[in-house]
Amino acid sequence: MTEVHVIVPEGIDDPERPSGGNTYDRRVCAGLAALGSVVYERPVAGAWPRPDASGHTALARAVERIPDGAVVLLDGLIACAAPEVLVPHACRVRQVVLVHMPLGHRPPDAEAGAVRARERDVLAAAVAVVATSAWTRRRLGELYALPADRVHVAEPGVDEADLAPGSAAGGALLCVAAVTPDKGHDVLLGGLATAMDLPWRCACVGSLLRDAPFADGVRRRARAGGLGDRVRFPGPCTGASLDGAYAAADLLVLASHAETYGMVVTEALARGLPVLATEVGGVPEALGHGADGTRPGLLVTPGDSAALGVGLRAWLVDAELRGRLRRAARQRRASLRRWPATTAVVAGVLAGAAR
């Protein structure tokens, strides 16, 4: 594979709006370049996956500049929302769609048929699809009956990181997620409220701008519920500040309603941090097991604050459980996939698409 054109969201490097999808795109672009490919990155403006006419126009202009026969890797957040732009070019350029989260997984009921039809058209026209977890591959099969040999799994990688020292009491909780309805911060607050009698603090690191009304409501609820002194919302963190947040934590907590993989899970495990998360999508894959078969964390029912609270209480009161999960997290740390392995899979798919 010598050349690839990559369609990515315009805000891929915006430090105020970090996301797992943007990180994945950025690392794969860098990895392909390191393997010797010439990468033509084409950022596209628009409120994807719900762009207005200007977003579609920007995408159309980007695709029209790509020469005939070229291989194009498209972020699914953009691609799956724009069949009218991409399908007419499917016979001209070799389209590979990178699906971070199927848009048809949980669309609003009133829009479900239209959203799925549009995504189906794009994926059917692509020469290959890259999914970021085995769960995503299965879900795409359920939704669209895509041929199995056209859907490839390239799990996100993770960087090596120093072990977080942890504390004896285990009360330093960390949530790394944009404050949006899908990430379940309202459920998290409900679970935290059930353990007010125990010592803990929780830092909720993530964008407050993706859904500002929801984020404002969550912070108001925290203050009204007496959690204001124990739950912090410092906004997004990247680089050294994010490393510091992980280093200061004892447990990652994630109350998501949907996750294709959960990159923050493996980022926590890379530091030996156990995880308390909802059992959704690819999270069980990301969590995995330690060498002795022990899960390095606890999985609870999504949308259930009481279940989250039970898991949190178990972690805080049971020193033996904390020790067992920490040992499993450190074992799992050794088996995590690295970014070069992820890029190698994507590179192989692109090379196949070029033939």
- Cβ–Cβ < 8 Å for 295, 219: no
CATH topology of domain 3-157+337-354: Rossmann fold (3.40.50)
* pLDDT value for 18: 84
Q: Once rounded to an integer, what is the mean pLDDT over residues 56-74?
A: 96
Per-chain mean pLDDT for the chain? 95
Pairing of strands 231-235, 201-205: parallel
Q: Once rounded to an integer, what is the mean pLDDT over residues 316-323?
A: 98
Calpha distance 249→32 (Å, rounded): 33
CATH number among 3.40.50.2000, 3.40.50.2020, 3.40.50.1370, 3.10.20.30, domain 172-333: 3.40.50.2000
Q: Residue 340 pLDDT more than 90?
A: yes
* pLDDT value for 111: 84
For the chain, give the percent of residues with pLDDT over 90.
Answer: 91
* pLDDT value for 187: 97
Per domain, the residue ranges of the chain are 3-157+337-354, 172-333
Helix (H, G, I), strand (E, B) or coil at 233: strand
Calpha distance 100→130 (Å, rounded): 9
Q: Residue 1 pLDDT more than 60?
A: no
259-284 burial string, b = 16+ CB within 10 Å, else e? bbbbbbbbbbbbbbbbbbbbebbbbb
* pLDDT value for 11: 86
Least confident stretch, 13-22, 148-157, 239-248, 277-286: 13-22
Instruction: Read off the pLDDT of residues 102-161 as tens digits, 9 standing for 90 and up.
Output: 999 987 777 888 999 999 999 999 999 999 999 999 999 999 999 888 999 999 999 999
The residue that leads in pLDDT, 32 or 147, is: 32
Helix (H, G, I), strand (E, B) or coil at 256: coil
Using alpha carbons, list the distances in angstroms from residue 291 to 192, 276, 295, 320, 323. Answer: 31, 19, 9, 18, 15
Q: Residue 169 pLDDT more than 90?
A: yes
For the chain, give the percent of residues with pLDDT over 70.
Answer: 100
What residue type is assigned to position 289 of the chain? H
pTM of the model: 0.94
Least confident stretch, 27-36, 47-56, 241-250, 307-316: 47-56
Task: At 184, give phi and psi (nearest 5°).
Answer: 70, 35
- Tokens representing 99? 């699906």
* pLDDT value for 259: 96
- Tokens representing 132? 């970021």
- Cβ–Cβ < 8 Å for 205, 172: no
- Cβ–Cβ < 8 Å for 268, 278: no
Instruction: Read off the pLDDT of residues 238-257 as tens digits, 9 standing for 90 and up.
Output: 999 999 999 999 999 999 99
Instruction: Read off the pLDDT of residues 184-238 as tens digits, 9 standing for 90 and up.
Output: 999 999 999 999 999 999 999 999 999 999 999 999 999 999 999 999 999 999 9
Task: At 325, give phi and psi (nearest 5°).
Answer: -70, -35
* pLDDT value for 355: 86
One-character DSSP codes across 131-188: ESSHHHHHHHHHHH---GGGEEE--------PPP---SS--EEEEES-SSGGGTHHHH
Alpha-helical (H) ranges within the chain are 20-34, 53-64, 76-79, 83-86, 112-125, 134-144, 185-193, 212-224, 239-247, 263-269, 283-287, 305-317, 319-333, 339-354
Q: Residue 2's pLDDT band (boundaries 50, 70, 90)?
A: confident
